[in-house]
Amino acid sequence: MAKKLWGARFKKEPNRDFFEFQSSIHYDYKLAQYDIYHSLIHVSALREAGILNEEEEKKLIAGLLELLRDIADNKFKPDLNSEDIHTDIQNKIEEKVGKPAYKLHSLRSRNEQIVFDEKLYCSQQGSILADLVRKVLSSLEFLAQKYGDSYFVGYTHTQRAQVLLFREYSLAFISMLGRDLRRLDNFMDSLWIYIGAGALAGTSIPKKAYNQAIKKSLTFLKEVGKGIGVAKSALDNVSSRDFIVEFLSILAIIQMHLSRLASDFILYSTKEFDFLDLPQEFCTGSSLMPHKKNPDFLELVRGYTGIIYGNLFSLLTLMKGLNLSYNRDMQLDKQALFSSVDIVKKELQLMADFLKKVSLKKENINRVLEDEYLYATELAEFLVYKGVPFQEAHQIVGRLIKYSEEKKVKIKDMPESLLKKFHQEFSSEVLKKILSPEYAISVKKSTFSKASSRNLRKK
């Protein structure tokens, strides 16, 4: 057990197993860098408040910067016998600078440090995630460019519905992820980081001193790229984790979108559909069946949804009904947060690469486009433009489909006299024209069908 930040009031040492049970160093070490940023501002605030002299301030800052360099050089090794990252950094600073370190923790609490650290983590990871979403978007745009003018089959209820251009199909996912990107940007914009909350009730350091300290720290704060201020409500600051709930919700929505894309691609790559060829580099084989090429990447993306949604629910449940202010329960927010961030980052990174290598099997899609029922809607709309009320047009085409199905005869092969019985505007020539993907796409005026596939994301 390494040196702790507390203990004098106890007659007994903590039970060893309990100490391990309650310590968080084996996961919160990830927050080391952010915790040092907190200390840097705090040291300046202590100096402003006259608690540290110039010499002590200098030594502490130098020690903290040295630790930051160790992290950057991958030399920082957390002592797993420490209770948490805050304690570990305190102990390391003591080792480096000696006596002035005893003043480092003056008038602050781990309660304000942890929320500061977590906010910076969310902010930095948020921008990494946003970059990765942008990468996936550009891969989708690449696909949309490559196959934009190819036809694709649109489904509702997983039943053939209407013809689309592949560009429109891609645009659906581009739109979803575009909104995710906006959500991430809004989240990062509204995330405000506070210092000076103390344990829960604020501290005796004047606001002015904190503000001066923040100003002094602007160089590294800029690097962090976040707005930092003095807590308006100290109590709220140490009590709340809604920013993590929000972040995990955004990750859950991204995950939902990725899993829908994964499901679609799994379905379309089956022999039954055979619309897509998945890159072999992202598939695996079977140990028994020599022919198998399984879409494991997509299946795992879909499968991770349980964990990502679970992480969100775990935090919502953790925070439900918690009395104000800080409770140790809240320590358990971190594994859910780190897990979701790590998984979604990996998925996005792989997805960006995967998508670029997917290819469209146009011949198979074109074969499906011979299904005349895909154009039933266009046929009904043709009648509408001839003045037939839609309800009637719907029934006429419905009867035509029923006849074709029962008699097993293609509409295009029906004699003109028979077609005329359904409606006098029907003729072989007209039907031949309407029952085609070219026509179906050409009459779509409200969509992007004919727009250039460039600038798909622009409104």
Could you list the residues that contact ligand ARG (CB under 6 A)?
A: 24, 28, 84, 110-111, 114, 326, 328, 330-331
Give the nearer residue to ligand ARG in terms of CB position, either 42 or 423. Answer: 42
CB of residue 28 vs ligand ARG: minimum separation in angstroms? 6
The alpha-helical segments, DSSP class H, found in 218-332 are 218-224, 234-239, 242-268, 296-319
The neighbouring-strand residues paired with 151 are 165
Give the nearer residue to ligand ARG in terms of CB position, either 113 or 123. Answer: 113
- Rounded Cα–Cα distance for residues 77 and 440 (Å): 63
CB of residue 184 vs ligand ARG: minimum separation in angstroms? 24
Q: Which helix (H) or strand (E) holds 154?
A: strand 151-156
CB of residue 330 vs ligand ARG: minimum separation in angstroms? 5
- Rounded Cα–Cα distance for residues 11 and 418 (Å): 99
Q: Is the bond leading into 339 cis (omega within 30 degrees of zero)?
A: no
Give the nearer residue to ligand ARG in terms of CB position, either 22 or 284. Answer: 22
Give the nearer residue to ligand ARG in terms of CB position, either 26 or 77. Answer: 26
Count of other CB atoms within 10 angstroms of residue 197: 28
Query: Alpha carbon of 447 to those of 157, 169, 391, 433, 457: distances in Å?
Result: 21, 11, 24, 21, 13
Straight-line distance from the first to the last Cα atom of the chain, in angstroms, rounded to the nearest whole number: 59
HSE on the CB side for 305, CA within 13 Å? 16
CB of residue 247 vs ligand ARG: minimum separation in angstroms? 16
CB of residue 4 vs ligand ARG: minimum separation in angstroms? 11
Give the nearer residue to ligand ARG in terms of CB position, either 114 or 250. Answer: 114
Nearest to 347 by CA among 355, 335, 357, 358: 355
CB of residue 19 vs ligand ARG: minimum separation in angstroms? 13
Give the nearer residue to ligand ARG in terms of CB position, either 259 or 339. Answer: 339
Active site residue 157: yes
- Rounded Cα–Cα distance for residues 42 and 210 (Å): 8
Active site residue 452: no
CB of residue 140 vs ligand ARG: minimum separation in angstroms? 38
Active-site entry in 190, 204, 233, 286: 286
Nearest to 60 by CA among 107, 98, 32, 34: 98
CB of residue 326 vs ligand ARG: minimum separation in angstroms? 6
Write out the DSSP string of 99-151. GGGGGTTTT--HHHHHHHHHHHHHHHHHHHHHHHHHHHHHHHHHHHHHHTTSE
- Rounded Cα–Cα distance for residues 380 and 359 (Å): 34
Q: Which residue has the tokens 């399984």?
A: 294
Active-site entry in 157, 287, 417, 446: 157
Torsions phi, psi for 370 (to 5 deg): -75, -10
Give the nearer residue to ligand ARG in terms of CB position, either 62 or 332. Answer: 332
Contacts of 340 (CB under 8 A, 6+ apart): 248, 251, 252, 307, 308, 311, 312
Give the nearer residue to ligand ARG in terms of CB position, either 24 or 311. Answer: 24
Give the nearer residue to ligand ARG in terms of CB position, either 37 or 166. Answer: 37
By three-state DSSP, how is residue 7 classified? coil
Contacts of 12 (CB under 8 A, 6+ apart): none
CB of residue 198 vs ligand ARG: minimum separation in angstroms? 11
Chain residue whose CB lies nearest ligand ARG: 331
* Residues designated catalytic: 157, 286
